[in-house]
Chains A and B, each alone.
Chain A
Amino acid sequence: MDRGWIWVIPPLLLCLAGAVLKACRHRGEPRHHHQGWGHKHGEATLSIDIYAYMSKISGWNPGFKVGLSVILLLMCVIANNMVVSLSVILITSTVTVVLGDMSLHHYLNLLTVPVVFLVAGSIMVLINFSWTPVAGAVANLNCHWFTIYITATSVHTTLLLWGRAFGAVCAMYMMSLSTMSGEIFSVLRRCHVPKLVIELMNMMYRYIFIMLDTQSRMKNSAQSRLGYCDFKTSIYSFGQSMGNLLIVSMKRGSQFYDAMESRGYDGDLVFLEEEKPLDKKMLLAAGLVISYLAFVWFVTTRGAGYYG
């Protein structure tokens, strides 16, 4: 056991304390299962958006949340260090699940989204092919014509990859599960992303819900007319409904412009934003977390090459 691992212990304690706090908070409550939210027909798309609205920390300053998440995300990716990744995973998960009061079940469910890609992508990093068995490999699998082999380096790379990817995903979830999309756009606007792009984002975000709603109704009605009874029919129905969706939305787009223009739209979408002042204590906590991670990064990469 290497000594660098002890630096995981403080975040782990934080996480455990969070778990205890969450357990106490929900003690005695009956287990309830949410099933009745919007966009239920067929797919649970955009559930992240719903969680963002329900989050207890949606009242925090959005710029602060986006900034902190991006800094942690970048630290995780740049450090490429197992201890830093694990710390990021523990800290951000605690923030999302305990402070944001999100159900752990839903959170874990969301974490499985990228797993498929990660599995497929990391198998290929893990294994290598060769015509002849390789000396010094951890495992050699002889497949008659060629050999599949795993080396210690590839195992190490894969583990690092898993840690880094999950750390990055957790850091991004901390942002997207607590910040409403409109607020993310306004943060981007303050970062001087062109106005036209921000405007497109705002409109697209709204149209997506309209379209998904229209599409799910189209799908329901096609389904009730046996439109998805076999593969060929479903290809046809899907294509037809998509074509129809585009037609309907193009017509609506034109109407929306009329509606906006009649309300005084002159190329500037201005939204009323809730003021969410930045708390000094929070800034301090964030600074602490970042400097802790920087410290761990420094200590573990200087000590042994194993982590980095």
Chain B
Amino acid sequence: MKKKEIRIVAASIGFALCFGIMPVAGAMHIMEGYLPVGYCVLWGVVAIPFLVWGFLSIRKTVSENRRSITLLAMAGAFIFVISSLKIPSVTGSCSHMTGTGLGALLFGPAAVSVLGIIVLLFQAILLAHGGLTTLGANTFSMAIAGPFLSWGIYLLCQKLKANRKVGIFLACTLGDLFTYCVTAFQLALAYPSDNGGVAASVVKFLGVFAPTQVPLAIIEGLLSVVIVIALESYASPELKSIGFLQGGSEE
């Protein structure tokens, strides 16, 4: 508890110091028209194998059990809702979770890649976060890179017999941070710096988003842990039915 409090205080200080003024509205979505056309195509192509894999995995799940389609749709809607809601932050600025890290832990990274691209499409159409041309780049950073890392870290923590909650916290926080690093890399690749090229540009973009994204990642990790605790205490049968809590490791 003590540690958690310290973390929260640190996060709030970070927030108050760095981002008392500037509101953050879905800052990690690359907006419509920001990327030159070559990079739009590039990231779209990079995302395709993952999407195909995810689609095949979803199709397999659904053909085994038709009933799971409503559950999948619910999962997708849940990811949309969780990533479009303002989360509590000390300054009252407007910030959102990614939600895909938690989604990957609950529903598996392959399914999240397909659900993620639908969610991103909805966010572009309904909320104007992200865009149609940058859909590929956003999908790669938010629905593929982040979730896969979260999933990997979670598995690793289970292998190492680490505390389950610590595992979830690390998985979601690092997944969020990784999403942000990938986005910075995507931006830097498209707009390399005059002197120093892509590497210098990566540092610039990491720097401009770090004040918001680092505390946000920590908050996202905390929230994910709280959500999983709530789920575990009230809905273990449902969690088992969607494949989480398998083996009931340390309960």
Contacts and interface: CB of A to CB of B under 8 A. Distances in A.
Interface of A: 42-43, 45-46, 48-49, 70, 73-74, 76-78, 80, 110, 113-114, 116-118, 120-121, 123-125, 128-130, 151, 153-154, 157, 161, 164-169, 172-173, 175-176, 181, 184, 194, 196-197, 199-201, 203-205, 207-208, 210-212, 215, 228, 231-232, 234-240, 242-247, 249-254, 256-257, 260, 267
Given A176-B126, A245-B78, A251 B238 contact: yes
Interface stretch (B42-50, B154-162, B193-201): B193-201
Interface in B114-159: 114-115, 118-119, 121-122, 124-129, 131-133
Which of A236, A238, A242, A257: most chain B Cβ within 10 A? A242
A238 B87 contact: yes
Contact of A128 (B24, B124, B193, B234): B193
A175 B132 CA distance: 11
Given A124-B208, A169-B131, A176-B128, A253 B194 contact: no
A47 B235 CA distance: 33
B23 interface: yes
The 6 nearest A-B residue pairs measured at CB: A239-B226, A168-B33, A243-B230, A234-B88, A203-B73, A207-B77
Interface in B40-84: 40, 55, 58-59, 62, 66-67, 69-74, 76-78, 80-82, 84
A132 to B, nearest CB: 10
B208 A48 contact: no
A249 B78 contact: yes
A287 B242 CA distance: 50
B74 A197 contact: no
Contacts of A154: 194
Given A77-B37, A120-B208, A234-B88, A168 B114 contact: no
Contact of A120 (B27, B32, B87, B89): B27
B205 to A, nearest CB: 6
Contacts of A161: 34
A302 to B, nearest CB: 19
Given A204-B77, A257-B67, A48 B226 contact: no
16 contacts: A73-B32, A73-B33, A77-B37, A77-B40, A78-B37, A117-B26, A118-B31, A121-B30, A123-B208, A167-B33, A215-B81, A239-B224, A239-B229, A246-B78, A252-B74, A257-B66
Contacts of B205: 121, 124
Contacts of A124: 187, 191, 201, 204-205, 208
B128 A114 contact: yes
Contact of B223 (A166, A210, A211, A235): A235
Given A200-B72, A239-B229, A254-B70, A173 B128 contact: yes
Given A235-B223, A244-B230, A117 B71 contact: no
Contact of A165 (B25, B33, B82, B121): B33
Given A151-B194, A164-B34, A176-B126, 20 more contacts: A77-B40, A113-B129, A114-B128, A116-B22, A116-B25, A121-B205, A124-B204, A168-B133, A176-B124, A197-B118, A200-B76, A201-B118, A215-B85, A231-B12, A238-B87, A238-B88, A247-B231, A250-B242, A257-B67, A260-B70
